[in-house]
Structure 1
Amino acid sequence: MSRLVVVSNRVALPDGKKNGAGGLAVGILGALKNSGGVWFGWSGETGEIDDPLKKVSQGNIQWVTFNLNEEDYEQYYCQFSNGVLWPAFHYRLDLVDFTREAWEGYLRVNVAMAKQLAPLIQRGDIIWIHDYHLLPLASELRRLGVNNRIGFFLHIPFPTPEIFTALPPGKTLLEQMTDYDLLGFQTEGDRQAFIDSLGLQTQVTTYMDGHHMADGKSFQTHVYPIGIETEDVVEQAKGPLPTKLAQLKAELGRVQNIFSVERLDYSKGLPERFLAFETLLEKYPEHIGKIRYTQIAPTSRGDVQAYQDIRHQLETEAGRINGKFGQLGWTPLYYLNQHFDRKVLLKVFRHTNVGLVTPLRDGMNLVAKEYVAAQDPRDPGVLVLSQFAGAANELSAAVLVNPYDRDDVANALHRALIMPKEERIARHSEMMAVLRHQDINAWQEAFIRDLKQVKTRSTQNDSTSASLGCSMP
C-alpha cells in the first residue's frame, strides 16, 4: 500500500498545542491514518533551514519539521506568501508589495524544502502538497528526479487572468504548477481561472475529464470543495453553554442576535459588514433596541500595516455606530478583538438567530458551514452568506448577498430576522444534506483516490531517481 507524504507550510504536531494548520488537520490526519506516511513542514521556529530535521512518530505517522532563519521567514512567508500572493489571490492588487528579494526568498525556501524532503520519499509514495506557500515545490522535486505522483490543493481562491498576469513572476509560477500531476481547487471558477491564466502564457490542450497538456507536461485539474467534521460539529454545539457564559445566554435570549466570527483580515469584508448593519438600523428602525450584532475578529498578522489599519477602522466604526444608535441598556454592536475557543463558539452559534458571513473573497469559508451544522434543526438560525465565498456554491439555501452592496446585505439581514420558522427549517435541512454528503473525509478521500489513479511520470534520470528511492512503482 502506498504511503502518503503530506507537505504544508505548518504541520499539526501530535502534542495538543495550537498550530497553524487550522481546519486542515482533521482531513490530513484521516488520510495519513488510512495509509501511513509523513507530514512535512515548517516547525514555526527560527534557526537554519539546514539544521537537523525534527522527527516525531506516533502509530503509522511521522511528523517531520524544519526551521527557517529570520531572513527566509521574512522573505518567503511575510513578504511574498502573505505580502504578494495572499492579497493578489484575494483580488487586492492595491495591497501587493512585490520585490525581487522577496521572490528570490520564496524560491530559495521552496528549493531548500525540496532538498530536505526528497530523501524522505520512498518508492510508490504519493505526495500531497498544500496551498499558496508551496506553488513551486513540485517543480523543485522534479529537478531532483522525484517522479512519484504529486498533487496540490489550493485552499484560497485563484484569481482571474486579469489579476494573476499582473504578478511579475506569474508566468514562472504557472510553469511550475504544471509539474503537479493533479491540481485541486475549491470551486469551478478557481479551476477555470487557473486554466485561463495558463492559456494566456502557453498553449494548453484540454481533453475530457479535466486532463490537460501544456509545454509537454500532462496534468489534471479538478474541484474538491473542502468540508467540515459535520457530525462532530453537531454534537459539540449541543448542550448548555459553559457556566461562565450563563449571563451571555440570558442576554442572548432578550434580543435577536446577529453573530459573526472571522480572523481579522481585509479579505473578510468587516468594514463593509459594519456599514451594512448601520444601514439595517436606518432602513428598518423597528429593530432598534431588539437586536444585537456581535463581531468577533481576533488579530492576525498584527505586524502588517494593512491589518493594523483595518483594526483601527473597525474600532472607529463600532464606536460611531454605537454612539449613533445606542440607548441606555442597549448596545447595538459588540466588537471583540480577541480569540475564543472553537467549542465555545459552536455553542454560541446555536443560540444566535443570524450568522453573518460576508467575505469580499474567500476560497471556501468553513465558518459558514460550521454555523449551519451547529443549529438546532427544530428552530435553526439563518445564514446570510457572501456570493463570493466558495461555500456559496454548495450552500445555495443560505440568503446570498453581494458584500459590496450594503443595502443588499441590510435587506438580507431584515429578511433573516423576520423569516418564518418553516422556511428556516427548510433552508437548514437542505444545507445540512450537503454538509453531510461533502464532509472533510469525503474531501480528502476524493482527492487521494484521484491522485492514486494518475499515471506516474516517466523517469528522466534513473540514477538520480534510484538514489532518492523515487522511481516509478
Structure 2
Amino acid sequence: MTRLVVVSNRVPLPSERGAKAGGLAVALADALRPGSLWFGWSGRRTSHDTRRTHVQRSDGITYATIDLTDAEYDGFYVNFSNGALWPLLHFRLGLLDFNADDYKEYCSVNRRYAAALKALLQPDDVIWVHDYHLIPLGAELRALGVENRIGFFLHTPFVPPAVFQALPRATELLTALCAYDIVGFHTPTYCKAFLDCVTECLGIRTGTDGRFSFRSRTVQAIADPIGIDAKSFAAKAEAVARGKDAAALRESLNGRALAIGVDRLDYSKGLPNRFIAIGRLLANHPEDRRQISFLQIAARSREEQHAYQRLRRELDRIAGETNGRYSEFDWTPLRYMTNAVKRDTLAGFFRIARMAVVTPLRDGMNLVAKEYVAAQDPEDPGVLILSRFAGAAEEMTAALLVNPFDADEIAEAMHRALTMSLQERVERWKTLYGVVATNTAERFCNVFMSYLARSDTVAQRPVLLRAI
C-alpha cells in the first residue's frame, strides 16, 4: 500500500498538539493516515552534528526528526530561509540579505535532510515536501537515486521573473524546483508567476495546463488553495464563545464593538499601516470613538533578526501614540499583545468580533480570514476587511478588499464595517462562507494527492525558447 511521506522544515510532534500546532498540522490532518511518515527538523539545536534521526509514533503515524547545529540553524534557517527567501517571496527586495556562505549552508542542510530521509523511504512512498525552506530537497533526493513521486507545495506567494531574478542563485533554485513531479501554489497568480519564471529563466515553454518537461522529467504546476474544516471550526467557535475567556473579553468591551487582528509578528503582515489606520479612523470619524475596541494579537517570531526587532519597536511606538492621543479613563482604543493565544480561544473571540482586519502587504493565503468567516453567527455576522494582496482575496471577493499600504482606505473600511446594515453583512457572509465551506483543508489535501498519485504522465522532450 502506498505510504504518504510529509516533509517540512519543522515537524509538529504529538506533544505539541493544541496550542502549539501550526496551520500546516491542521491543514494536513485529513491527509495523514495511520502508516504515514512525517519527517523534518525537531526544533532542537545542538553544538555538534550527531547525524541521528529521532523516531516516535503516535496514532499510527511515525514522526522522524533530526536536530540542527547552531551553525546550521543560523545559516540555513535564520539567514537564508528567512533573511533572503522570505523577503524575496513577499516582494520586499529592500530587506533581502544574501550571503553566499548562508546559501551554501541552506543547500547543505537540504542535502542532509535528503540523506536522512532516503534511509527511511520505501519504494512505493509518495513524498509531499512543504515550503520555501526545502526547495532543493527534491533535487537532492533525485541525486541520491530516489525515483518516487515527489510533490512540493509553497505556502508563501511566488514572485514574477523581474523580482525572482533579483536573488543571486535564483536559476539554481528554480532548476531545483523542476526536480519535483508536482509543484503547488495557493492561487493561479502564484502558479502563473512560477511558470513565467520557468519560461524566462530556463527557456522552457509551458503548457496551458501548467505542465512542462525539463531534463526528461514532466513537471505539473497547479493552483490548490489551502483551507480549513469550516464546519468544525464554526461549531468550536459557537461553543467557546459561551466560555469564560470570551465572556471576560465581552465584559471588558462594555457594549462596544470588537475589531480583531491576529497575525504573526512579521513585517509582511502590514501591522504598522493597520495601527496607523486605527488612529485615522478615530481622527476622521469622531463619532466612532468609544464605539470600538481594537484587539491586535501578534505572536512574536524570528526575534533574532534585526528587521523584526525594528518592527516591534515601531509597533510599540504607534500603539503608544494612538492610545496616548485617544484613550479616556474608561476606554483604550487599541489593545496590543504579543503573547500567543490558543486557536480554540481565538475561535470564540472571532465569533464575538464585529470585524476582522486582515491586511498583510503580501500573504500566501491567510487562514485567519477563513477562520473568522467560519466562526461567525449566521444571524448576526461580522465583517471581514481583507488585503487585496492576500492569497485569500482571489477567493473571498465578498470581503471589504483594501489596499494595505493605504491607512486611510483601511480606516474607511473599518467605519463602513461599523455602520453596515445587518442585511448587507448577512449577504456578504453567506457568499464568503460558501467559499470557505467549499475550499476546505480536506479538499486541499485531496486535490494535491490526486495529482501526486498519478503515474500516467509521460516525459517529453522540452521545447526550448532559448539555450540554457
TM-score by length of 1: 0.93
Residues 191, 19 of structure 1: alpha-carbon distance in 2 compared, 3 angstrom cutoff: farther
Code of the aligned partner of 1:435: V
Is residue 11–residue 21 contact of structure 1 (8 Å, CA) maintained in 2? no
Residues 81-121 of structure 1 show CA distances to partners (whole Å, capped at 9, x for unaligned) of 01110111111111111111100000000111111111211
1:109-167 CA-partner distances (Å, limit 9, x unpaired): 01111111112111121110000000000101111111111100000111121211000
What residue number does 2:305 align with? Answer: 304
Matched letter for residue 72 of structure 2: D
CA 1:96–1:305 in 2, change beyond 3 Å: closer, same or farther?
Answer: same
Query: Please, which moves more after superposition, 321-330 or 16-25?
Result: 16-25
The more displaced of 40-49 and 281-290 is 40-49
Q: Distance in 1 between matches of 2:395 and 2:190?
A: 15
Structure 1 residues 94, 18: CA separation in 2 closer, same or farther (over 3 Å shift)?
farther
Q: Are 1:116 and 2:111 counterparts?
A: no
The answer to whether the 8 A contact 2:19-2:341 is kept is no
Aligned twin of 2:418? 417
Q: Which residue number in structure 1 is paired with residue 38 of structure 2?
A: 39
Letter in 1 for 2:390: A
2:174 aligns with: 174
For 1:294, the equivalent position in structure 2 comes to: 295
For residues 24 and 282 of structure 1, the distance between their equivalents in structure 2, rounded to whole angstroms, comes to: 40
Where in structure 2 are the equivalents of 1:147-162 lying within 5 Å? 147-162=147-162
Paired position in structure 2 for 1:132: 132
Alpha-carbon shift at residue 245 of structure 1 (Å):
5.0
Change (3 A) 1:245 1:351: closer
- Partner in structure 1 of residue 28 of structure 2: 28
Structure 2 residue aligned with 1:105: 105
Residue 400 of structure 2 is aligned to residue 403 of structure 1: no
**1:7 is matched by which residue type in structure 2?**
V
**Inter-CA distance 51–360: structure 2 relative to 1 (3 Å threshold):** same
Structure 1 position 448, deviation (Å): 0.3
> What amino acid is the match of 1:51?
R
Equivalent residue number for residue 69 of structure 1: 69
* 228-237 or 25-34, larger mean C-alpha shift: 25-34
Q: Give the equivalent residue in structure 1 for 2:212.
A: 212
Are 2:246 and 2:348, in contact at CA under 8 Å, matched by a contact in 1? no
Does the Cα contact within 8 Å between 2:259 and 2:356 map onto a contact in 1?
yes
What secondary structure, in the 3-state scheme, does the structure 2 residue paired with 1:33 have? coil
* Residues 209-235 of structure 1, C-alpha deviations (whole Å, 9 max, x = no match): 221123443200000100012112101
2 CA distance for matches of 1:260 and 1:434?
Answer: 21
1:30 CA drift (Å): 2.3
Residue of structure 1 in register with 2:94 after alignment: 94
Q: Which residue of structure 2 aligns with residue 225 of structure 1? A: 225
Offset at 1:15?
2.4
**Counterpart-to-counterpart distance in 2, 1:246 and 1:77:** 40
Query: For 2:444 and 2:150, how far apart are their aligned partners in 1?
Result: 17
Kept after mapping to 1: 8 A contact 2:186/2:364: yes
- 2:161–2:197 CA contact under 8 A, matched in 1: yes
Amino acid in the other structure paired with 2:380 = D
Partner of 2:428: 427
Q: Indicate if the aligned counterparts of 2:381 and 2:425 stay in contact, CA closer than 8 A.
A: yes
Aligned counterpart, 2:365: 364
Q: What amino acid does structure 2 have at the position aligned with 1:40? A: F
Give 1:21 deviation, angstroms: 6.0
On the 8 A contact 2:199/2:206 being kept in 1, the answer is no
| Deviation by residue 1:11-54 (Cα, 9 ceiling, x = unmatched) | 122224569761111332321217x3211101111235553211
Question: Structure 2: which 5+ residue stretches go unaligned?
Answer: 460-468
Q: How many angstroms apart in 2 are the aligned matches of 1:328 and 1:124? A: 66
SS of equivalent residue, structure 2 residue 299:
coil
Distance 2:450 2:78 in 1: 34
CA 1:21–1:97: 2 relative to 1, 3 Å: farther
CA–CA separation in structure 2 for the residues paired with 1:221 and 1:373: 29
Residues 434 and 253 of structure 1: is their aligned pair in 2 closer, same or farther, counting only changes over 3 Å? farther
Q: In structure 2, how many angstroms separate the alpha carbons of the residues matched to 1:20 and 1:128?
A: 22
Q: Secondary structure at the match of 2:361?
A: coil
The answer (yes or no) to whether the contact 1:252–1:351 under 8 Å persists in 2 is no
SS at structure 2 position matched to 1:254: coil
- Cα 1:55–1:374 shift into 2, 3 Å: same
Letter in 1 for 2:381: P
Aligned residue in 1 for 2:462? none
Tell which deviates more after alignment, 89-98 or 248-257.
Answer: 248-257
What is the one-letter code of the residue matched to 2:223? V
Quickly say closer, same or farther: Cα 1:454–1:405, change in 2 above 3 A: farther
Question: What is the RMSD computed on CA atoms of the aligned residues?
Answer: 1.7
Q: Aligned runs of 1:370-385 on 2, under 5 Å?
A: 370-385=371-386
Q: Aligned in 2, Cα 1:376/1:257: closer, same or farther, shift over 3 Å? A: same
Return the alpha-carbon distance in structure 1 between the equivalents of residues 100 and 344 of structure 2: 43
Matched, 1:443 2:444: yes
Contact 2:28-2:441 within 8 A present in 1 as well: no
Within 1, Cα distance between the matches of 2:110 and 2:223? 25
Q: 1:215 to 1:16 in 2, by over 3 A?
A: closer
Gap change, CA 1:326 and 1:146, over 3 Å in 2: same
User: 1:263 matched to which residue of 2?
Assistant: 264
- Closer, same or farther in 2 for the Cα pair 1:20/1:9, shift >3 Å? farther
Provide the C-alpha distance between the structure 2 equivalents of 1:343 and 1:178, rounded to a whole number of angstroms. Answer: 39
| Equivalent residue pairs, number | 457
Spell out, residue by residue over 1:145-193, the C-alpha distance to the aligned partner (whole angstroms, 9 max, x if none): 1111110000011112121100001010001110000000011111111
Question: Normalising to structure 2: TM-score of the pair?
Answer: 0.94
Please say if residues 42 and 68 of structure 1, whose CA atoms lie closer than 8 Å, have aligned partners that are also in contact.
Answer: yes
Is the 1:80–1:98 contact (alpha carbons within 8 Å) kept by the matching residues of 2? yes
Q: Which residue pairs with 1:465 in the alignment?
A: none
Q: Partners in 2 of 1:376 and 1:206 — Cα distance?
A: 45
Aligned twin of 1:466: none
Contact 2:149-2:181 within 8 A present in 1 as well: yes
- Matched residue of 2:264: which SS? coil
Cα distance in 2 for residues equivalent to 1:243 and 1:212: 55
Distance 1:222 1:427 in 2: 29
